[in-house]
Amino acid sequence: MNGEGERAGRKEALFREVNEEVRDLADHAGALPDQVGFVCECSDEGCSERVQVPLAVYEETRSYPRRFIVAPGHEGGHEHVVSRSTGYVIVEKDGEAARVAAETDPRG
Could you read off the pLDDT of 3-45 as tens digits, one per residue? 777 777 777 778 888 888 888 777 766 655 677 889 999 988 8
Q: Per the domain annotation, does 49 fall within a domain?
A: yes
- Whether 108 is covered by a domain: the verdict is no
Residue 106 contacts residue 15 (beta carbons within 8 Å): no
Query: Is 72 within a domain?
Result: yes
In a domain, 87, yes or no: yes
Cα 100 versus chain centre, distance: 13
Torsion of CA 90, 48, 56, 96, to 10 degrees: 40
Judge whether residue 60 has pLDDT over 90: yes
Quick one: pLDDT at residue 81? Answer: 97
Its pTM stands at: 0.80
Range of the domain at 65: 3-103
**Domain contains 90:** yes
- Domain-located, residue 99: yes
* Per-residue pLDDT tens digits for 78-107: 899 999 999 999 999 999 889 988 999 988
Residue 80 belongs to a domain? yes
Provide the number of structural domains found in the chain. Answer: 1
- In sign, the C-alpha dihedral spanning 106, 56, 42, 8 is positive
pLDDT value at position 30? Answer: 60
User: Are 60 and 26 contacting, i.e. CB atoms less than 8 angstroms apart?
Assistant: no
Which has more confidence, 54 or 84? 84
